[in-house]
Structure 1
Amino acid sequence: MAAVTSHFLGIDPKMYRHFAMLTIGLTTVFALFADGETRETMAQNSQRAELKRADESKFGKTKLVDKRGDKPRSNASGGFNGTFGAPMDGGGSVSGNSSYIPPALALKSPPIIIEVDQAALAKMSPEQRKAYLKRLEDERQRRMREGPVVPTPQQVSALAAASAARAGSDSID
């Protein structure tokens, strides 16, 4: 038969006291560590203040200068000159053409990189290797002279159809 206990929820009151003492002890230890960091930070701040006072006595008080008015202002709002709530489509610039890109921000054409097939290169004789590398260099020079290639709409649609076929789709999105 079960013994009747007078403890609340079956927990001995000594356990509550032990838990309370443990909590107070841990809190005290944490407070000591936190207080040590605070003292360390205060010491660093006082050192910085002393260095600043020494610099001020040696070089004089630091003067703040506003040079924002010296240069012409650029439109930092990303091309939007209107007021809040105004329509944002259309001309963001004076001429009405918001698609203007300054020459300094225009992208340069990417370098022409032609990769060498290392497996095929390993199987070639020295003469074949020399001829192969010369052909690749000639192709790279030709592409650099021609500039970037812009695909025609027919080429784009053919590429999209081939991509849709590889993906298993019946239509092009």
Structure 2
Amino acid sequence: MTNRSTGMCPFSIVYTKAPNSVLDVAVLPNCKSKTAATLVENYAEFLSNIRLRLQAANAKYKSEADIHRREKLFKAGDLVLVRLKRERLPVGEYSKLGKKKWGPFPIVHKINDNAYVVDLPEEFNTSHTFNVKDIYAYHPPDEPENHQQSVSTDFLSSGGE
């Protein structure tokens, strides 16, 4: 069965021929046989072609996965919501119907683009370091607008006509 990344079956990649004819490449360069040297060169070229095919397949998979990725970058002091999984919550606090995101909490500092240290209260009793997938930007709710409509007293006194 052929592999979709390499276009060949794994057995032919590993063994190139029947298993009993596999040669140890490290021992062959010391050999003076011209046939063995050409076999080693062919095998090395064969492996480099397989390596290029695998790199091309990995690049294709990465580009397709990157389409769905969002880059989240935060600065120290930004307010964020953190997703706390069951393992990170205090004992007895987890409910599958409870809230998943907690906050807002400020970011203390950035470790790298993928990890941040968040200033959690001590009651959480968990690590303050979070992966970017568990951090969400905090957007404060809009101020409620006071749209109180005044009711005309003339309308009420006239009987609604």
TM-score normalised per structure 2: 0.27
TM-score normalised per structure 1: 0.25
User: Relative contact order: is structure 1 or structure 2 higher (C-alpha 8 Å, sep ≥ 6)?
Assistant: 2
Work out which of the two has the higher radius of gyration on C-alpha atoms and give 1 or 2.
Answer: 1
Q: Which protein has the bigger strand share?
A: 2
